[in-house]
Amino acid sequence: MTEIDIHELLQRLRQAYPDAHCELNYETPLQLLVATILSAQCTDERVNRVTPQLFTTYTGATDFAGANRDELEEAIHSTGFYRQKARFIQEACQVIVHNYGGEVPDNMNDLLKLTGVARKTANVVLGEVYGIADGITVDTHVKRLANRLGLTDAHNPAKVERDLMAVIPRKSWIEISHLLIFHGRRVCFARNPHCAGCPLSDLCPAAAG
């Protein structure tokens, strides 16, 4: 792994993306949980087109828990992997209703007990809704950029998260994901990254030229 000035990295990303934020639309903890489950192998833009009607039809955990599975699958069909996602959402909501009074848990241990919820989803919910930095959200953009920047040489998301947690100050654990995701979607593309226009090019060991 390559040494990089973390303070400088954060400062430049903040300057480039002062409005970096979660791009999933939601109003409640449950809506964010559902939207994050739907976002697997799917763009946030697509999820945001599906969720307005979804959240009108299913207004709480009880609605999702008791939903007709075929109808739920149809409602989220366009997000891909809809059978698995419908099962995850329904079973997670059944646990939320039966074990947590219909409220999304506010700690990592309980969130990980929900069907379909791994650390990525749990970190999103904890950071966004509860302001709790228990870890760092690692999606495909964060993993790609962390490798390119030399912050990790791992490809397993859990190991990438541990490596990032070791070098990023805890107070920045929530924002670093937003910053890297914004950068990955706008400049540091998976194919043909725009190194010439990158504010990190002189810091990044993977920068072209």
- Per-residue pLDDT, averaged over 105-121, amounts to 98
How far separated are the first and last CA of the chain, in Å rounded?
A: 20
CATH number 1.10.1670.10 is the correct assignment for the domain at 6-20+135-197: yes
Each residue of 17-55: pLDDT tens digit? 999 999 999 999 999 999 999 999 999 999 999 999 999
DSSP-assigned letter for residue 114 = S
The matching CATH number, chosen from 1.10.580.10, 3.40.50.1820, 1.10.340.30, 1.25.40.340, for 29-129 is 1.10.340.30
DSSP-assigned letter for residue 39 = T
* For the chain, domain boundaries: 6-20+135-197, 29-129
- Per-residue pLDDT, averaged over 98-121, amounts to 98
CA pair distance 121, 113, nearest whole angstrom: 12
- Per-residue pLDDT, averaged over 90-116, amounts to 98
Q: What CA–CA distances, in Å, run from 18 to 21, 77, 86, 116? A: 9, 34, 35, 32
How many CB atoms lie under 10 A from the CB of residue 49?
A: 13
Each residue of 179-206: pLDDT tens digit? 999 999 999 999 999 999 999 999 999 9
Which residues are annotated as catalytic?
A: 120, 139
**What pLDDT is recorded for position 2?**
60
Residue 162 tokens, joined: 């541990």
H helices within the chain, ranges in order? 6-16, 29-38, 44-57, 61-65, 69-75, 82-100, 108-111, 119-129, 140-148, 157-167, 173-186
